[in-house]
Structure 1
Amino acid sequence: MWNNQAGDGGFDQQGGFASPAGGGFSSPQSQGGEKRARPSNIIPCTIAQVLSANHDGDRFIADGFELHQVTIVGLVKSVSVAPTRIDYGLDDGTGPIIEVKQFVDNDESVPEEERVSPMMENTYVRVYGNLRSFQGKQNITAFKVLPITDMNELTSHILETIKVHLELTQPVSANQTNGHHETNATPAKNTYAGAMTDNSMSNVQQQVLTIIRGSASDEAGISIQNIMQQLRGLPEKAIRDSVEFLSGEGHIFSTIDDDHYRSTDTD
């Protein structure tokens, strides 16, 4: 699964989904010159897709869409640790190794329990981060690096990546917008982030995310205690479980400590 061999139902060497037509994610096509807006959610990608995205200034374009925040999974091939940064070399078998930079505050003045521990080499991780370019080479600045303990997550990530690619490159036809599909029909350009939508959340999770998004103006984010004050009718465990879910899914990230969170939608 994690190799460079193209086959039925696999990835081609450009990181696109192999198909008879040969249309990979790395060959963006726009419909009628239509300008598409940058998605606000996190986009599941392969490393090859990230590296092959067209770079225009501070914008990265793939399939006519601007990539901003992405999530990738892969095997840690190298780790370099410094007081303020951890650098990873990540490989998912679809292309060259990509550099992932995670900025941390691991100074000696920071208590040991609050320091960010680096991931080990030869372990699988999921990365959430922003696309960047340095000296003509694209990389990812991570705001979250999580270990993968269930190998099914590798398969799930590939399926999410394929799903997003197909939604993006195969617009909804007029026939699909009629009949029993009508209520769910959405133009492809609006489903780029379909793998991570608010519709998949519970009511409590949606309420917690709405409150966290509402605190975007505060660099420190909002504390869990503050969230609980605004949702007094809900059990504390339900709120904390929702925060853990949202963090694990990459919708939010911790800021000054493990009690304060901001939305990843915030620029």
Structure 2
Amino acid sequence: MNSPGGSQASPSSAKTAASQSLRPVTIAQIRKSSQLHSDADWMVDGHPIGQITVVAELYEQKVYTTNRTFYIDDGTGRTDAKMWMDTPDEQKEKEWRGIPFNKQPVYVRVTGSIKTHNGKKNFHASNIRLVKDPNEVYFHILDVISCNVILQKGLPPRPGQEPQSGTTVQGSQNAYAIQTRAPNIASMFSPLADNVVRYLAGQMSNPEGSFVGDIAKALNADGMELSDTVDRLIDEGHVFTTVDDSHIQLAT
């Protein structure tokens, strides 16, 4: 469910490389992000961002009828991430997606985008999951550093190539080119993931993306397995959500 009153991307911004990428960031970068106008890409350190992912400690959550609010801290700052969804009263204070309800601090990976609501900047979460491997926390930190270095200094040269200069928003090849390049579908993490990516590759002409239910029917896939596969594809930046959480598109 989309946040009521949240800003929507314009048709032009929806086609930018940034809007079709998944960039690892820190909460400090989210807090410092800015936007030239309501239809423009959000910017961090002079570079546009679209979908973002954060790994942080979840120290509190509040559950309302129409949304869940997660309060997170990654050591660089604190923020809240809202996931718009309906929750029955009897489910409000129970474990959800393996995430305990305010029992002890845990780490989570949150994926989503920055939107505005009533003039206030919000982290609009499209997916959240429990971090079970502590190495994922350190991996995310290194991933953020790697992305920032590539954006500032360019890609490392291939054998026989001259080093590239620093990239700009209009640079020929930048970190977003890496993130949005069509994935190697022959080496995905599961056969179902391969099939999902192949299916999406054949539906690129649809700007609204593909409905997950249609993918399940086309692939004759188990709903729970497909959901887990799509979540991982989103987390790894191979696909992104479009008009809502049930429509996805291949990052190209």
Task: Give the TM-score taking structure 1 as reference length.
Answer: 0.63
Separation (CA, whole Å) in 2 of partners of 1:68 and 1:179: 33
Matched-pair identity in % = 21
Name the stretch that deviates more: 239-248 or 123-132. 239-248
* Residue correspondence of structure 1 range 69-80 to structure 2 within 5 A: 69-80=51-62
> Which structure would you say has the larger Rg?
1
* Residue correspondence of structure 1 range 54-203 to structure 2 within 5 A: 54-58=34-38, 59-95=41-77, 97-107=78-88, 119-121=100-102, 122-134=105-117, 137-172=120-155, 176=157, 179=160, 189-192=173-176, 194=178, 198-199=182-183, 201=185, 202=187
Per-residue Cα deviation, 1:207-236 (whole angstroms, up to 9, x for no partner): 41242462664784434542326xxxxxx6
Unaligned runs of 5+ in 2: 1-15
Separation (CA, whole Å) in 2 of partners of 1:181 and 1:226: 48
**Is the CA contact (8 Å cut-off) linking 1:72 and 1:128 kept in structure 2?**
yes
For residue 93 of structure 1, give the secondary structure of its aligned residue in structure 2: coil
Unaligned runs of 5+ in 1: 1-35, 230-235
Q: Which residue of 2 aligns with 1:50?
A: 30
Q: Which residue of 2 aligns with 1:245?
A: 229
Separation (CA, whole Å) in 2 of partners of 1:90 and 1:264: 28
For residue 199 of structure 1, give the secondary structure of its aligned residue in structure 2: coil
Return closer, same or farther for 1:199/1:220 CA change in 2, 3 Å cut-off.
closer
Give the partner amino acid of 1:101.
K
Q: Which residue of 2 aligns with 1:211?
A: 199
Return closer, same or farther for 1:78/1:246 CA change in 2, 3 Å cut-off.
same
Separation (CA, whole Å) in 2 of partners of 1:127 and 1:71: 6
Separation (CA, whole Å) in 1 of partners of 2:133 and 2:195: 28
**Is the CA contact (8 Å cut-off) linking 2:97 and 2:130 kept in structure 1?**
no
Separation (CA, whole Å) in 2 of partners of 1:39 and 1:108: 35
For residue 169 of structure 1, give the secondary structure of its aligned residue in structure 2: helix
Give the partner amino acid of 1:226.
K
Separation (CA, whole Å) in 2 of partners of 1:104 and 1:224: 22
Higher relative contact order, structure no. (Cα contacts within 8 Å, ≥ 6 residues apart): 2
In the comparison of the two structures, how many residue pairs are matched?
211
RMSD: 4.0
Q: CA deviation at 1:60?
A: 1.2
**Is the CA contact (8 Å cut-off) linking 1:167 and 1:191 kept in structure 2?**
yes
Q: Which residue of 1 aligns with 2:10?
A: none
Return closer, same or farther for 1:249/1:158 CA change in 2, 3 Å cut-off.
farther
Separation (CA, whole Å) in 2 of partners of 1:264 and 1:78: 32
Return closer, same or farther for 1:139/1:117 CA change in 2, 3 Å cut-off.
farther
Match of 2:219 among 209, 223, 228: 228
